Amino acid sequence: MKKVPLFFGFSLLAVLLQLIVAPWLTIQGIKPDFPLVLILFVAILFGRVYGQLYGFGFGLIVDLIGMGSFLGLSALAKTIAGFLAGYLKDKRSRLNGFTFYTFVCFIIFIHYLVFFLINFHSAEYPVQFIVFRYILPDTLYTAVFFIVSDYIFSIEKI
């Protein structure tokens, strides 16, 4: 229960970062997803159930304040990301850094795959275009912020 205010604090921080800082970090339309980084942290620390619940709740908030054209899309993508990241619970110390971060990148990739394929379903973009123009750059950019956050806060020690 003591962690509840901490959750709220970090959630608010992630929202503020996304609203205020992320636009400044945007490169060619690609920006980091701070709420996703936090969801991955929560899921890796607390497992699949908390990960997906937090992903859904936070995704819905992001949808509501984030002004996406599809309400519920972030909730869906982040639920899946939270669920998948939950598999990495207690694995941080067992896996070497490269393997662990590869799994994290894969989860972020799945998150963006779900997000962009639904978001662009009515557009006539080829899938490979969506993957190379949006999904991969967003995945790598967000992964960098995850790795930096892990380096600063260290999941292993929390």
Partner 1 sequence: MWRKIVIFLFDYHDYLLLILLVILSFSILFLNEVPEMRSLQGEVADLFAFIHYPGIWLNDLSGLLQENEMLRQENMQLKLQNIEFMEAYRENWRLKRLLGFMDSTAYTIVPAKVINRGTSPVANSILLNVGKKLGIAPNQAVISTKGIIGKTIAVGDRTAQCQVFSDVNFRLSVKFQNSRVLGLVMWQANGMAIAREIPLTAEIHPGELVLTSGYSEIYPPNIVVGEVVEVQRVENEPYQSAVIRSYANLNTVEEVFVIISY
Q: Do 58 and 38 meet the contact criterion of CB atoms below 8 Å apart?
A: yes
Structure tokens at 62: 């992001």
Only segment of 15-23, 90-98, 100-108, 150-158 that touches partner 1 (CB under 8 A): 15-23
Percent helix, strand and coil across the chain, each rounded to 5? 75, 0, 25
Task: State the Cα angle at 78 between 129 and 34, rounded to 5°.
Answer: 85
Q: Which is nearer to partner 1, 60 or 105 (CB)?
A: 60
Q: Using N-to-C axis directions, what is the helix angle for 34-46 and 73-86, rounded to 10°? A: 40
Work out whether 148 is an interface residue with partner 1 (CB under 8 A).
no
Only segment of 1-9, 37-45, 72-80, 101-109 that touches partner 1 (CB under 8 A): 72-80
Q: Which is nearer to partner 1, 86 or 110 (CB)?
A: 86
Structure tokens at 19: 């609203």
Amino acid in the structure at residue 104: V
Binding mask 94-133 for partner 1 (x = CB under 8 A): ------------------x--xx-xxx-xx-x---x---x
Write out the residues near partner 1 by the rule CB under 8 A: 15-16, 18-20, 22-23, 29-31, 33, 35, 47-49, 52-53, 56, 59-76, 79-80, 83, 86, 112, 115-116, 118-120, 122-123, 125, 129, 133-134, 138
